[in-house]
C-alpha cells in the first residue's frame, strides 16, 4: 500500500470535502481517504498496482478541483 498526500485547491466547504472524498473512495484500489479542508489536502492510502497517483489527480480534476502531490 502507498500513502500519498495530495494538495487540493478549490475546496471551500464541507460539501467540497465530501465530493473529493467520494470521488477518491470510488477509485479501485483506494483503501482509505481523509480530506482536510483547512489544510487543503487529501491523504490517500491505495494500492499502486491498481491505481496511480496521476489517476487519482485526474479523478480530482474531473470533480472540478486541482490537485498535485505534496
Q: Whole-model pTM above 0.75?
A: yes
Percent share of the chain, pLDDT over 90: 99
**Count of the separate structural domains present in the chain:** 1
Domain that holds residue 20: 2-69
pLDDT digits (tens, 9 = 90+) for 35-69: 999 999 999 999 999 999 999 999 999 999 999 99
DSSP label at residue 63:
T
Q: Which of 12, 5, 10 is nearest to 62 (CA)?
A: 10
Q: Give the pLDDT confidence score for residue 31 in this predicted structure.
A: 98
Q: Contact at 8 Å (CB) between 27 and 37?
A: no
Q: Give the integer Cα–Cα distance in Å for 47 and 15.
A: 26
Mean pLDDT of 8-37: 97
**Residue 38 phi, psi dihedral angles, 5° rounding:** -60, -40
For residue 10, what is the domain's CATH number?
Answer: 3.30.70.100
Mean pLDDT of the residues in the chain: 97
Amino acid at each position: 500500500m502507498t500513502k500519498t498526500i495530495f494538495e487540493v485547491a478549490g475546496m471551500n466547504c464541507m460539501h467540497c470535502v465530501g465530493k473529493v472524498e467520494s470521488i477518491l473512495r470510488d477509485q479501485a484500489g483506494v483503501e482509505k481517504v481523509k480530506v482536510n479542508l483547512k489544510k487543503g489536502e487529501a491523504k490517500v492510502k491505495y494500492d499502486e498496482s491498481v491505481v496511480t497517483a496521476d489517476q487519482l489527480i485526474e479523478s480530482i480534476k474531473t470533480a472540478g478541483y486541482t490537485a498535485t502531490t505534496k
